[in-house]
Amino acid sequence: DKTRRNILNQLKAIVGQGPLNQAAVAEIEAALLQADVGVEATDYIISELQKKLRAEVTAPEEAIAFLKEILRDMLDQPLKESHKSSFAPDKETLNIWLITGVNGAGKTTTIGKISHLAQKSGYKCLIGAADTFRAAAVEQVKVWGTRSGVEVISNPGKNTDPAAVVFDAIAAAQARETELLLVDTAGRLQNKKNLMDELSKIRRIIDKKAPKAKIESLLVLDATLGQNGLRQAEVFSQAAQLSGVVLTKLDGTAKGGVALAVVQQLGLPIRFIGAGEGIEDLRPFSSYEFVEALLSG
């Protein structure tokens, strides 16, 4: 799509000095909407930009730099208070990362990638296979375990209670002085009350059985998602006490713009991005890269 590809050049041509003209607003609006940023967040971004441009006369290049800054600020906001620059499990203590999300988002694949990374970085790692529902879900996560050289705790019975698997996995992790336990959960749509209750129960068991562990609760969002992503983040946040987001499938042409609204409205930082189906295709999140990609069509 040509219009998208040259968005920055087009913007330079139509962003005049001072407040944005109608054509420039339309152009920025189109770029953001087409990236799934959503109507509300788009309105916010444009009004922030207008505010700045009304306050001072700026060259087009600077206006674009402002726009990028607004976007990056939105994304970096949740991390403003923390002093750590990188996101990693603590050594020599039990970290439990609960991986959640709707069906097919990329949870299991992300676990495979993280376990590989953790293993390579010298962590003692373990995977809990708590998707006891979907056909061949346990077999799938076991393949990832083999690939990364990480053991998988599962229950061979059919339709067993996922909370029981989590319980067993924590017990195993504690017995082996595991540093990172990754918990794979079944995909669930956020409007299914019973499934969300099941997730809350899993979270409670983790809190209770491992009170000293450092717990991260990550929501996996598919970059192809539209505005439902925001709803997902709201409801999963309640059920699983989310602490962050993983954005997958960014190797496609979808921009994952809904993540902006998720970060802004729920204050959840994006921790990793998935950019492929391979074991190495996981990267730490960078607001700079994300914003450049968002606006580059």
In the complex, which residues of this chain contact another protein (CB under 8 A)? 1, 30, 33-36, 38-40, 102-106, 112, 133-137, 139-140, 142-144, 187, 189-192, 222, 224-231, 249, 251-254, 257-258, 277
Decide whether 139 or 207 has the Cβ nearer to another protein: 139
Q: Where are the alpha helices (DSSP H) in 81-185?
A: 107-120, 137-148, 162-175
Q: Tell the smallest beta-carbon distance from residue 77 to ligand GTP (Å).
A: 25
Residue 107, interface with Mg ion (CB under 5 A)?
yes
Type of residue found at 161:
D
Other CB atoms within 10 A of residue 147 CB: 15
Q: Tell the smallest beta-carbon distance from residue 223 to Mg ion (Å).
A: 17
**Cβ neighbours of residue 117 closer than 8 Å, sequence gap 6 or more:** 282
Decide whether 24 or 138 has the Cβ nearer to ligand GTP: 138
Gap between the Cα atoms of 150 and 167, Å rounded: 18
Q: Which does 148 bind (CB under 5 to 8 A by kind): ligand GTP, Mg ion, another protein, none?
A: none
68: exposed, middle or buried (Cβ count in 10 Å: 0-12, 13-18, 19+): middle
Residue 117, interface with ligand GTP (CB under 6 A)?
no
Gap between the Cα atoms of 83 and 293, Å rounded: 26
Q: Tell the smallest beta-carbon distance from residue 112 to ligand GTP (Å).
A: 8
Helix (H, G, I), strand (E, B) or coil at 111: helix
Residue 248, interface with ligand GTP (CB under 6 A)?
yes
Q: Tell the smallest beta-carbon distance from residue 228 to another protein (Å).
A: 4
Q: Which does 198 bind (CB under 5 to 8 A by kind): Mg ion, ligand GTP, another protein, none?
A: none
Q: Which does 65 bind (CB under 5 to 8 A by kind): Mg ion, ligand GTP, another protein, none?
A: none
Residue 224, interface with ligand GTP (CB under 6 A)?
no
Decide whether 6 or 224 has the Cβ nearer to another protein: 224
Residue 277, interface with ligand GTP (CB under 6 A)?
yes
Handedness of CA 140, 204, 125, 236 (dihedral sign): positive
Q: Parallel, antiparallel, or unpaired: how do β-strands 270-274 and 244-248 relate?
A: parallel
CA–CA distance from 154 to each of 34, 175, 277 (Å)?
A: 41, 16, 23
Residues 23-62 that bind ligand GTP (CB under 6 A): none
Residue 178, interface with Mg ion (CB under 5 A)?
no
Residue 177, interface with ligand GTP (CB under 6 A)?
no
Token couple for 29: 């609006």
The answer to whether 264 and 295 are in contact (CB under 8 A) is no
Q: Tell the smallest beta-carbon distance from residue 146 to Mg ion (Å).
A: 16
Closest CA to 260 of 51, 48, 84, 86: 48
Decide whether 20 or 141 has the Cβ nearer to Mg ion: 141
Handedness of CA 210, 212, 213, 214 (dihedral sign): positive
Residues in the site for ligand GTP, rule: CB under 6 A? Answer: 101, 103-109, 131, 134, 137, 186-187, 189, 220, 248-249, 251, 274-277, 281
Residues in the site for Mg ion, rule: CB under 5 A? Answer: 107-108
